[in-house]
Amino acid sequence: MLSKCIFLALLAVVAAQEEPVERKPFKPPPVSVPPSIRFEELPLYVQEMLSRQNVNPFQPSQDNPTGHGPGSFMMGFPGVPGKPGMNGRNGLNGPRGPKGDQGDPGLDGLMGQQGIMGKPGLPGPRGHRGFPGRGEAGAKGERGYPGVPIVTNPPRGALWKQCAWMGESDLDSGIIKNCTFRKQSADTYLRVAFSGNLRVGGCTNCCKRWFFTFNNTECSQPVPIDAAIYVAGPTYANPLRPRYIEGYCGRIPTGPINISFKVESCTGYNEGDAYTGWNSASRMIIEEVAPPMQ
């Protein structure tokens, strides 16, 4: 419909440029223009439609005696296409639409390339202890060297005694504990040991010595069994620590032996405050053993 209106407007312009002649209005027959006809094809299409209806606007007729008028026109060349118009302004943003339904899960992607090796991680926690394994039996070892004869009366470990006690002693010199042991053989040794808390305090450049005696005599075969604790200071130091003193002594006769654990000051050092035992048990261990290897 728009194309038809444009064509009739062109006919009106051509008619306005001609000399005025008294004539009857030309009534062109109605022509239907399909929407598929482009503007530059419109004149040829109209001319074709008029020729099919035996209408010639250039020939005189009862309605148009002179053959001129609004239907008289000359077909011109198609005009040069105009330049594209400027883009219009962007319209306002419309309101936000409602949230759509959740889409179907996508397909799994392709496997990526292997990444760069990362840094070693922190050590993990220690695992649970495994079940005991059982391997195959090893090869038979070589024959050993002949052993050294030992005293069989008593065998090692057969005779031993422990004297244990709770409590503390603030004695600075004297016997801390006595323990009696009956020795069975003249050529065996006695192994003695002390385990408990000891300390020296309240002094500077001071020292205390703890030692064993056998029937009130220190061991001489091979050396005394003792230990010394030295404190340089300050006077408020109180180094209560667990201590362990152990040794072997020979040339002790058979029969009952009175074994004592004692304390005294060290020669050449200041007196100090000795303390034996604290907040735990103390013990003496005595064992008759075979003599040492020669």
pLDDT in tens, 71-126: 444 455 566 777 888 888 888 888 988 988 888 888 888 888 888 888 887 787 87
Q: What is the mean pLDDT of the chain?
A: 81
Lowest mean pLDDT among 112-121, 145-154, 172-181: 145-154
Indicate the pTM of the whole model: 0.48
Q: Label residue 60 by pLDDT band (50, 70, 90).
A: low
| Distance of alpha carbon 221 from alpha carbon 144, whole angstroms | 31
Lowest mean pLDDT among 15-24, 123-132, 231-240, 275-284: 15-24
